[in-house]
Amino acid sequence: MGGDPLPGCCPVDREELLRRIERFTDLPLLILALALVPLLIVPAVVTVRPPWDDAILVADWAIWAVFAADFGVKLAVAPRRVEFLRRHWLEGLMVLLPFLRPLRALRALRLARVAVALGFNVQVIRDILAQRGTKVIVAAVVGTLVIGATLAYLAERGEPGATITSFGDAIWWAAVTMTTVGYGDVYPTTPMGRGVAVALMLFGIAALSALTATVAAFLVRESREETTLADLLAELRALREEVARLRAGE
C-alpha cells in the first residue's frame, strides 16, 4: 500500500527524514516564494516586452516545477501519506492545478520559522501561528490584499479622475479598506473598483475579527496556564513548609 513503510526502514526513520528534508528546504522554498511575487505582479501592472515576457514565464513555470518536485519527494518519504496529504492539501492542489500557482506566494509565511532558525526571538508569534486556523486566516488576508489591490489597479488604471494611479496606491488602498480605516486619500471610481472595495471590506471585517479572537483566546489561555503554574508552585512551597514543621516536631 502507498502508506506502508519501505523495506528496511521503519516509520520513525522516515518521519525523521521528512523533518530533515523540510528543515533543509524551508529557506530555499521561501526564497523562491518571495521571488514569485514580482513574477506575478509585474506582468499585471506594466507592459513586459520580449524577451522579458518569455523569461518571466519560464521562471514562473520553473518555480512550479521545483515546488512539484519538493511535494513529490516529501510525499514519497512520508510514512503516513494520507495524513501528509490531509495536512498539505493546498500544496497538492497547487501542483495538480497549475493555474493556482499564485497561491505559492503564501509560502512566505514560513518566514517566521526561518527567523526562529536564524535566532530571532519570535516565540510568541510562532506560538500564535501554531494555533489552529491562524495560518489559514493570515494567508487568506495576505492573498486577498494582493489580489484585491491588483484587481482595483487594473480597473482604475487609465480611467479619468482615477485616484489609484499606481500599484503602490492600490496596495495602500486595499490595506486601509480591509481594516475599514478609509482615509479617503485614494478611492475607486469605477463600478468594478467599488465592487472590489465591498468585497475587501466584508472579508476584512470577518478575517480580522477571527484573527483577533484567535490571538485573544491564545493570550487568555496563556494567562490561565501561568496562573495554574503559580498556584502549583505555591502549593509545593506550602507542602515543603508543612514537611519541615513535621520533621522539626519529631
Please give the average per-residue pLDDT across 162-173, as a whole number: 88
Please give the average per-residue pLDDT across 91-120, as a whole number: 60
Of 149-163, 175-189, 204-218, 219-233, the least confident = 219-233
CATH number of the domain to which 152 belongs = 1.10.287.70
Predicted confidence at residue 25, as pLDDT, reads: 83
- Answer yes or no: do 10 and 116 share one domain: yes
Q: For residue 39, is pLDDT > 80?
A: no
- Answer yes or no: do 142 and 234 share one domain: yes
The span from the CA of 99 to the CA of 64, in Å, is 10
Please give the average per-residue pLDDT across 58-75, as a whole number: 88
Please give the average per-residue pLDDT across 9-27, as a whole number: 75
- What pLDDT, in 10s, does the model give residues 113-134? 544 444 444 455 555 555 556 6
**Contact assessment for residue 34 and residue 62, using Cβ atoms and an 8 Å cutoff:** no
Omega within 30 of 0 (cis) for the link into 51: yes
Domain end, chosen from 83, 101, 120, is at 120
Domain end, chosen from 97, 120, 143, is at 120
- The whole-chain average pLDDT of the chain stands at 75
Domain assignment of residue 226, given as a range: 122-250
Predicted confidence at residue 15, as pLDDT, reads: 84
Please give the average per-residue pLDDT across 188-192, as a whole number: 92
User: Which has more pLDDT, 53 or 124?
Assistant: 53
- Answer yes or no: do 179 and 115 share one domain: no
- Answer yes or no: do 86 and 147 share one domain: no
All 3 cell numbers of residue 46?
A: 506594466
